[in-house]
Amino acid sequence: MTFDTNARPNRIPWPPAILLILATAAFAANAFFPPTPLSPDATFWLRVLGAAVCAAGLGLDLWALETMRRHRTNILPHRAAGRLVKAGPFGFSRNPIYLGNTVLLAGLAVALANPFFLLAAVLNVPLVNRLAIAREEAHLDARFGDEWRAYAARVPRWIGRVT
């Protein structure tokens, strides 16, 4: 896949569209196939745990967005990158917003006792990889060259350590 350095990676902002579609599908599936009710005590603690996981996902999203804003680069996933941001959450994940979205979906599964949100979180990863990240990475490679390749070799796509 080759890119003009000024071209945008995608015409459609896939990651937020995927998030919305998967969340809507999880709500709909739960309406048609509701899970077995849990005890009130279990429900309370699941909601607390789920809210904490949701807060972690949203916190990661907001931290990444603020980091991009501070570096004065484009935030929209279907627009060309202005700068290669390597600070903040981009130091441990090349895609902290997409990671945050996935964590948010998993948190909703727990908080709402809706297993379809867990399926949505699992499906989010390959869909975002295929529809957004592959093209974004080709765009970043064309735009930033060796700087991008060194960063990509050091920081994993989702999370963890590159060895």
What is the C-alpha separation between 128 and 131, in angstroms, rounded? 5
Q: What is the average pLDDT across 119-148? A: 94
Per-residue pLDDT band for 36 (boundaries 50, 70, 90) equals confident
How is the chain split into domains, by residue range?
19-29+39-154
Q: What is the average pLDDT across 29-52? A: 88
pTM for the whole thing? Answer: 0.88
More confident residue, 120 or 10: 120
pLDDT at site 114: 93
More confident residue, 35 or 151: 151
* CA distances from residue 110 to 5, 57, 100 in whole angstroms, order as listed: 42, 13, 15
Task: Say whether pLDDT at 161 is over 70.
Answer: no
Residue 149 CA from chain centroid, whole number: 21
What is the C-alpha separation between 85 and 70, in angstroms, rounded? 10
